[in-house]
Amino acid sequence: MAALDRANEPQTPVQLRPRIPSGDNSVWADVSPLLHAACQDLQEGDLIHGDNFNLYAAMSALEIMDPKMDSGMASTYYSLDEAIEKGAAPVPISADKTTDVRCIIDIMDHLLACEATWHKGHSLAQTVYSCLYLLRPERTSSHVLLHSYCQVIRATCKAVLSVVADARTHEEEDLFVMAYGLPLSGDGKERCLPLLNAVEETICRQLRASKTSSSKRRVSEDIEPLQNNPDLEEGYCKALLCRLRFRKHFYHLLMSMKRPQGGGLELAREHIASCISEIGHIRKSSDFLRASAPEMSEKNVENTTASGCQPIGFDASLNSRLSAPTPPRAIKIFCLEKALEYFVKLLHDLDVICSYSLDPSLEAALLFVVKFQKSQPDLISRAHLQLLLVQNGKLFGRYPMFSMITRAAGLPEAAENHEFQKNQLMVQLEQMVINLLKIICTNAAWQRRKLGKMLQDLRVIHVQLELAFKKEFGNTSNNENIGFKIFQHILVWLEEQTYWIAFRFLTVGFELELYADHDYCMVYWYIYIVLINLAEKKHLRIAMSSGAGKKKTKKKRDSLKDGGMNYQISDAVKFLQSQIYLAEGLGMMLAALRNECKIVPPQSPFSTEHEIFIQQFDLLLKACLPESISYQTYKESTAQANFSTLAMCDYFKVAHKMAKELKGNFANDPDTMAELGRIEQVAERNNIALTVISRLGSADPSMKISFTLCHHPFFATAIVKRS
Amino acid sequence: MEHEAEKSVQVQGGSSDSLESDPVSRVRKLLFRRMLIGIKDGRFFLGNFYCIDKQGNIILQDTVEYRSTRRSSPSPMEQRCIGLILIPSSCRTSCHVDVSLDEQLSLLSLNEK
Helices (H), A417-481: 424-439, 444-473
The pLDDT of A46-57, averaged and rounded, is: 89
Cβ atoms of B59 and B25 closer than 8 Å: no
Q: How many angstroms separate the CA of residue B18 from the nearest CA in chain A?
A: 15
| Tens-digit pLDDT profile for residues A27-41 | 888 899 999 999 999
The rounded distance, in Å, linking the Cα atoms of A582 and A657 is: 11
Nearest to A111 by CA among A204, A244, A232, A201: A244
Residues with Cβ within 8 Å of residue A311, at least 6 apart in sequence: A103, A106, A107, A109, A110, A304, A305
**Structure confidence at residue A668 (pLDDT):** 87
* Amino acid sitting at position A613: F
| Tens-digit pLDDT profile for residues A411-447 | 888 787 778 878 888 899 999 999 999 999 999 999 9
Interface test with B, best of A32, A43, A85 (most B CBs within 10 A): A32
Chain B, window 59-98: residues with a beta carbon less than 8 angstroms from a chain A beta carbon: 59, 65-75, 77-78, 80, 82-89, 91-98
In this structure, of A65-74, A264-273, B70-79, B101-110, the range with the lowest mean pLDDT score is B101-110
Interchain CB distance below 8 Å, A65 and B36? no
Phi-psi region of A577 (alpha: psi -120 to 50; beta: other; left: phi over 0): alpha
ipTM above 0.95, yes or no: no
How many CB pairs lie under 8 A apart between chains A and B? 231
Phi-psi region of B77 (alpha: psi -120 to 50; beta: other; left: phi over 0): beta
pLDDT at A268 over 80: yes
* Amino acid sitting at position A566: N
Nearest to A32 by CA among A2, A64, A6, A12: A2
- Partner residue opposite A34 with nearest CB, options B27, B32, B83: B27
What pTM, to 2 d.p., does this model score? 0.83
Residue scoring higher pLDDT (A348 or A8): A348
A219 by DSSP, 3-state: which? coil
Which phi and psi angles does B8 have, rounded to 5°? -75, 140
- Partner residue opposite B91 with nearest CB, options A32, A46, A65: A65
Which phi and psi angles does A531 have, rounded to 5°? -65, -40
The rounded distance, in Å, linking the Cα atoms of A642 and A400 is: 53
**Structure confidence at residue A79 (pLDDT):** 85
Spell out which residues of chain B touch residue A84, defining contact as CB-CB under 8 Å.
none
* Amino acid sitting at position A171: E
**Structure confidence at residue B112 (pLDDT):** 42
All domains in chain B, ordered by first residue:
2-111 (2.30.30.100)
Kindly write down the DSSP assignment for every residue of A500-559, as one continuous string.
HHHHHHHHHHHHTT---GGGHHHHHHHHHHHHHHHHHHHHHHHHHHTTGGGS-----HHH
Interface test with B, best of A24, A25, A39, A48 (most B CBs within 10 A): A48
Cβ atoms of A106 and A112 closer than 8 Å: no
- Partner residue opposite A37 with nearest CB, options B11, B70, B107: B11
**Structure confidence at residue A647 (pLDDT):** 62
Q: How far is CA A226 from CA A139, A176, A221, A230, A233, in A?
A: 21, 37, 13, 9, 7
Question: Mean pLDDT in chain A?
Answer: 85
**Structure confidence at residue A559 (pLDDT):** 46
pLDDT at B95 over 90: yes
- Partner residue opposite B96 with nearest CB, options A28, A38, A43: A28
A190 close contact with B: CB closer than 8 A:
no
Q: B93: pLDDT confidence band, cut at 50, 70 and 90?
A: very high
Q: How far is CA A403 from CA A232, A326, A351, A425, in A?
A: 62, 45, 28, 15
Per-range mean pLDDT, top range of A14-18, A175-179, A282-286: A282-286
